[in-house]
Structure 1
Amino acid sequence: MKIITLLIVSLIAFNPIQKCMAQTDKESPSVLNHIAVYVTDLNVATDFYKSVFNLPQIPEPFHDGKHTWFSLGNAGQLHLIQGAKTSEVHDKNEHLCFSVPSVDAFVNTLKAKNIKFEDWPGKEGAVTLRVDGVKQVYFKDTDGHWLEVNDAK
């Protein structure tokens, strides 16, 4: 009887179902899938993001003329969605950030496209140098959404 009890206790202790259940306690962290930006003119916004950031456009499943999807590599996707009624005033604290190899080279792109940019405090044409050595600039897309570009590695 003791052997049977020991066998039953052993089976319960080493049960694969319990091991599977225990593993669910350590779930993988969530990952970003996409960011959706609501825009007034899809064609204008699509051209802006494609030309300024050189983002690869990817197929979108709706085919309704109201969506443009871009790949952000491992970071996920950027979805532009037609339908915003008017441009709104957006706070700079709420922004999308893209990293580039060189902020100085990117600033030249902004200048060539006549896109105004500023540093964090708001000085037009200036670049912020953060305490960690990262350079950054801020500017708005065609709907007034704030964008940051930095050279963080």
Structure 2
Amino acid sequence: MIRHEGIHHVSLIVTDLERARSFYKEVLGLREIPRPPFDFPGEWLAVGETGQQLHLIVHEGETLRAGGIDTRDGHFAIRVDDFNETVEWLREQGIEHKANPDSITGFAQIFLLDPDHNVIELNAARR
């Protein structure tokens, strides 16, 4: 049997590292962490304080998404502390998103795209 400890990291393909770095650090508030000296550009970011990570990998090819936010597309989710505060922050930053405070999941959800059209879910406990 495999005994899970949790998700260590999620890797995403990006085409412009500076643009992606700015989005994930300045908009989503993730923190840069040390990355080994791979022979390709990328960035490692901490998600919260429990050791979970997001790895950005530069890829010259196209991403799969060209359209808008599709909540059923592949994505990763980050739990946030406050739904309303997060929605307001995204509005202030001019980030297009779909907010569903009454999701049938039992928690509030916000979906958005990063600059390379990777789908991100931000979710929060209902209050």
* Shorter-chain TM band: 0.7 to 0.9
Question: What whole-Å deviation, never above 9, does each CA across 1:47-67 have from its counterpart, x for those lacking one?
Answer: 101112211110101165611
Runs of 4+ in 1 over 4 A off after TM superposition: none
Query: Which residue of the partner structure matches residue 40 of structure 1?
Result: 15
Decide which structure has greater helix share: 1
Q: Return the index of the structure with the highest Cα Rg.
A: 1
- State whether residues 97 and 149 of structure 1, in contact with CA within 8 Å, keep that contact through their aligned partners in structure 2: yes
Give the TM-score normalised by the residue count of structure 2.
0.81
Aligned length: 121
Q: Does 1:29 find its partner at 2:20?
A: no
Unaligned runs of 5+ in 2: none
- Tell me how large the CA RMSD over aligned residues is: 2.3
Q: Which is strand-richer, 1 or 2?
A: 2
For residue 62 of structure 2, what is the aligned residue in structure 1?
A: 86
CA contact (8 A) 2:13 2:63 kept: no
Relative contact order (alpha carbons < 8 A, sep ≥ 6): 1 or 2 greater? 2
The percentage of counterpart residues that share the same residue type is: 28
- Inter-partner Cα distance in structure 2 for 1:30 and 1:146: 25
Instruction: Find the residue that maps to 1:129 and give its secondary structure.
Output: coil
- Secondary structure of the 1:151 match is strand
Contact 2:25 2:31 (8 Å CA) reproduced = yes
Give secondary structure in 1 for the equivalent of 2:112. strand
